[in-house]
Amino acid sequence: MSNFLANFVRDESGAAAAEYVLILAIVGSGVAAGAVFLGGKITSALTAAGNKDSNCTIASSGSGTVGTC
Counting as low any pLDDT under 70, the low residues of the chain are 12-15, 53-69
Looking at residue 4, its pLDDT comes to 78
Instruction: Write out the residue range of the structural domain in which residue 41 sits.
Output: 2-68
Looking at residue 27, its pLDDT comes to 96
Looking at residue 57, its pLDDT comes to 66
Looking at residue 69, its pLDDT comes to 59
Contact assessment for residue 61 and residue 53, using Cβ atoms and an 8 Å cutoff: no
What domain count does the chain have? 1
Q: How far is CA 69 from CA 50, 56, 58, in A?
A: 12, 4, 9
Looking at residue 61, its pLDDT comes to 62
Pairwise CA distance, residues 69 & 59, whole Å: 12
Contact assessment for residue 58 and residue 67, using Cβ atoms and an 8 Å cutoff: yes
Q: Is the pTM of this model over 0.85?
A: no
The CB density around residue 11, as the number of other CB atoms within 10 Å, is 9
